[in-house]
Amino acid sequence: MEGALAVDDLTEMLKGTLEGCVLEIIGGEETYGYAITRRLNELGFADVVEGTVYTILLRLERNGLVQVTKRPSGMGPPRKFYALNNAGREEVARFWTKWEYLSSRIDKLKEGGR
Partner DNA sequence: ACCACTACACGGTATCACGGAGTACCGGCG
Partner DNA sequence: CGCCGGTACTCCGTGATACCGTGTAGTGGT
**Whole-angstrom distance, CA of residue 61 vs CA of residue 53:** 12
User: Which one among 1, 2, 4, 6 touches its own copies, defined by CB under 8 A?
Assistant: 6
> Is 3 among the residues that bind DNA (CB under 7 A)?
no
Residue 44 or 64 with smaller CB distance to its own copies: 44
- By CB under 8 A, the residues from 54 to 113 that bind its own copies are 96-99, 101-106, 108-110, 113
Candidates 16, 28, 44, 64: give the one binding DNA (CB under 7 A): 16
- Residue by residue, DSSP assigns the chain as -TT--S-S--HHHHTTTHHHHHHHHHHHS-EEHHHHHHHHHHTT-TT--HHHHHHHHHHHHHTT-EEEEEE--SSSS-EEEEEE-HHHHHHHHHHHHHHHHHHHHHHHHHHHT-
- Residue 62 or 110: the one with the smaller Cβ distance to its own copies is 110
Position among 11, 85, 86, 97 found at the interface with DNA (CB under 7 A):
11
Q: What gap in Å lies between CA 97 and CA 31, rounded to an integer?
A: 24
Among 58, 87, 102, 106, binds DNA (CB under 7 A): 58
* Residues in touch with DNA (CB under 7 A): 10-12, 14-19, 32-35, 47-52, 54-59, 72-80
